[in-house]
A and B are shown apart, each in its own frame.
Chain A
Amino acid sequence: MFGLDALELARAQFAFTVSFHIVFPAISIGLASYLAVLEGLWLKTGRDVYLNLYRFWLQIFAVAFGMGVVSGVVMSYQFGTNWAGLSNAAGSIMGPLLTYEVLTAFFLEAGFLGIMLFGMNKVGKGLHFFATLMVAIGTLISTFWILSSNSWMHTPQGYELVDGVFYPADWWAIVFNPSFPYRLAHMAMAAFVSVAFIVGATGAWHLLKGRRSAEVKTMFSMAMWMALLAAPTQAVIGDAHGLNTMEHQPAKIAAMEGHWDTERGVDLLLFGIPDMQAETTHYAIGIPRLASLILTHDLDGEIKGLKEWAPEDRPNSTIVFWSFRLMVGLGLLMVLTGLISAWLRLRGQLYDARLFHRMALIMGPSGLIAVLAGWVTTEVGRQPWVVYGLLRTADADSGHSATQVGTTFALFVIVYFLVFGVGITYLLRMMRKGPKLKAVEHQTDIEGGPGRARTPSRPLSGASESDDRADSDEGDRHEH
């Protein structure tokens, strides 16, 4: 089907479903922590601006989280439906890690989400803040386990391999495998940075529209602080992650750099088209010795080239060369955005620099795009292995026919674009609408919640009531 064999279709299907999925958890990981900060600030200062921002971003969080849940359930079953070979070989190791994720994270998030979304009138401020914290911590615990499992597939250790089946020997070594700390830090920070830029773009959009309420300014300012601090931190973490990859997966590094012959003093290519057949990188333009400097911290350092590995053991350099450059390029732009914001802030022009607001608006999706590019780099870069060096992707699938996998793939594509396309439209619409500008009554004195008077039972519902009307900024969520 589509000229692809069953294995390629199964891989494409996994890549498609997981790429759609990861966008939503990245948003909910970052937003949950942001919400916890906002609610904490509100409790500490009592200023309405924080409560208004909390309520505004809570609506967006609810939609993103919902889409993350439904697309995530698919992932948890796909290991079995599409990758029975992997389940059979590595289930004893990956399964318990996923079970811990469900037990320590998913239930925690889901259990307190209801209270976070609808419970403020029912449980009081303190307990409600506790629920927000639990959801935020849940998203981070979830990141911990799923990245441990993923990292183990990249840098497996602590196992015994008997007749093609991995037996756990040392759980500590499995969970804290060599690439895990770097990958965890890199992904968690990526979620924070992504959300900083989403929040920043939302603020910038409203500033460009001439809305200069305390809410708009505060969200823009907070986002730009985050950009200033988190984006460079992410660059440092990314560098450390790269060095770790260099140590454990040198073939991936060679593919990322479009680098074919093992040499010293390697150039950093800014442009080039790696050709897997010709074993060369066409039109290469590079900066002398910079790759060696970055990867070995030595101008004369040696970097292994792809020709060190047999052709069937090489990852596709054409893809990862460019996905890596996309990620790094966006990262540098994000750092630049943070620096400009600091300069404007020092000059007292943060809320007046329209050109910069345009830049912040355009940079809105940059974090998420970088997340996707980063995952493409690391996952395509580990091919042809699913468990690095030990189990080939070709031996991991379920052996369904191309027709079967092609059919379900087509269904996933249709449903995901339809459903999540609508969802993303709603998210954008809510962001465009903005936080409500007038002061709100403190929630605690309202009798409300599902089934009670006055309060819509979905947090989304209030804002949405006016969504089909004109683009109103003043939609009262308690309207009747």
Chain B
Amino acid sequence: MNIDIPLIWAGVIAFGIFMYVVMDGFDLGIGILFPFFKERDKRDLMMNSVAPIWDGNETWLVLGGAGLFAAFPLAYGVVLSALYLPLILMLLALIFRGVAFEFRFKSKRSRPVWDLSFIFGSLVATFFQGVVLGAYINGFPVENRAFAGGPFDWLAPFPLFCGVALVVGYAMLGCGWLIMKTEGELQDKMFKLMPPLTIALGACIAIVSLWTPLAHEAIASRWFDLPNLLYFSPVPILVLASLAALLRSVRLKKDNQPFLLTLALIFLAYTGLAISLWPNIIPPAISFTAASAPESSQKFALVGVVVMVPIILMYTVYGYFVFRGKMKLGEGYH
């Protein structure tokens, strides 16, 4: 049997982006939740809960970019050119977010500035990631191996809605993370915030699930033609089950379950999108096979992935293990 290397690469990219969404998702979420707390010690605690790991989390975004460059250079060129403005805005926002980790503790007078930098950096980066996702789902016109649309194609209702939806999703990941990592007043507040966020995310998922098949015939037939309907029906059912379990875990004040169930929800939503778009890497018409780099490139880079990703995951887990456990309120610094 031949090994389908482009397929493996599609899987690797999907995995890398998912890792990014989950991992940078919760630390961007913390930035989005910052405005809910005014007290400096709580803000310090929130930031410190991700300070040792945010950099590693963001590296998955770089892997997504580099992997796409290596395995599907056509997609890298077309998609990134098409999303020129939202991506640049996202990258600039990530600068404000990233340096806030370093600068915020540097100064007393300008601390409010870096608080704002952290909040708006996280919010804007997340929003434009959602916009990028929405525009990607909508697809790109391609002529002669180059993007053939306009610079503001992404400025449409669906991508903008996806921007808002992702803000809700990341806020929820951040909320779940803080429930897990904190206790007392901060955790209580997060428990209160979780149910409305859960309902909002459920609504967002529902709207995207209706909007995409209505707007794209191919997506409608992917989901609703028999026998696909049967194969894919577990996805929405599991979404509903996770939503219910999440609300229940919050009611029972569970520490870890809200975060894990949020992860499950994000995973299901991600799977749903993968089902909708398969096998295109440049929707609506260019498949990952058509956009593949030469086999030699994919093989060479894949060796690195196969050898390195398990090692990366090991020391990533180790890093999280070192900084495990609850953060204590008021015990940061003063």
Residues of chain A touching chain B, judged by Cβ–Cβ distance below 8 Å, are 62-63, 66-67, 69-74, 76-77, 79-82, 84-85, 87-88, 90-96, 98-104, 106-108, 110-115, 117-119, 122-123, 167-169, 171, 398-401, 404, 408, 411-412, 415, 419, 422-423, 426, 449-453, 455-458, 460-462, 464-465, 467-468, 480
**Knowing A81-B87, A102-B66 touch, does A111 contact B319 (C-beta < 8 A)?**
yes
* Interface of chain B: mostly helix, strand, loop or mixed: helix
User: Using an 8 Å CB-CB cutoff, how does the interface string of B47-83 with A read, 1 for contact, 0 for none?
Assistant: 0110111011011011101111111011011111101
Query: How many pairs of residues, A versus B, come closer than 8 Å at their CB atoms?
Result: 278
Question: Which one of A104, A118, A423 lies within 8 Å of B304 (CB-CB)?
Answer: A104
Q: Which of B228-257 contact A (CB under 8 A)?
A: none
A73 and B70 within 8 A (CB): no
Chain-A contact segment, one of B160-168, B201-209, B212-220, B321-329? B321-329
A408 and B294 within 8 A (CB): no
Known: A87-B77, A398-B81. 17 other contacts (CB 8 A): A66-B98, A70-B98, A95-B76, A96-B297, A114-B51, A114-B56, A415-B96, A423-B103, A451-B327, A452-B331, A455-B333, A456-B105, A456-B333, A460-B106, A464-B105, A467-B107, A468-B107
Question: Which one of B103, B296, B301 lies within 8 Å of A100 (CB-CB)?
Answer: B301
**Knowing A81-B87, A99-B70, A168-B297 touch, does A461 contact B151 (C-beta < 8 A)?**
no
Question: Which one of B45, B84, B105, B297 lies within 8 Å of A458 (CB-CB)?
Answer: B105
B65 and A80 within 8 A (CB): yes
B99 and A88 within 8 A (CB): no
Question: Which one of B87, B102, B105, B323 lies within 8 Å of A118 (CB-CB)?
Answer: B323
Name the interface size band of chain B: 35 or more
Residues of chain B touching chain A, judged by Cβ–Cβ distance below 8 Å, are 44-45, 48-49, 51-53, 55-56, 58-59, 61-63, 65-71, 73-74, 76-81, 83-85, 87-89, 91-92, 94-96, 98-99, 101-103, 105-110, 145-147, 151, 181, 293-294, 296-297, 300-301, 304-305, 308-309, 312, 315-316, 318-319, 322-323, 325-328, 331-334
Would you give the shortest CB distance from A331 to chain B, in whole angstroms? Answer: 31
Closest to B50 in A: A450
A96 and B70 within 8 A (CB): yes
Closest to A127 in B: B322
Could you tell me the distance between the alpha carbons of A66 and B56 in the complex, rounded to whole angstroms? 11
A399 and B102 within 8 A (CB): no
Residue numbers in B under 8 Å from A90 (CB-CB)? 73
Closest to B53 in A: A114
A399 and B77 within 8 A (CB): no
A91 and B293 within 8 A (CB): yes
Could you tell me the distance between the alpha carbons of A419 and B48 in the complex, rounded to whole angstroms? 21
**Knowing A81-B88, A456-B332 touch, does A92 contact B59 (C-beta < 8 A)?**
no
Residue numbers in B under 8 Å from A108 (CB-CB)? 312, 315
Could you tell me the distance between the alpha carbons of A105 and B332 in the complex, rounded to whole angstroms? 31
**Knowing A88-B146, A115-B319 touch, does A70 contact B95 (C-beta < 8 A)?**
yes
B300 and A66 within 8 A (CB): no
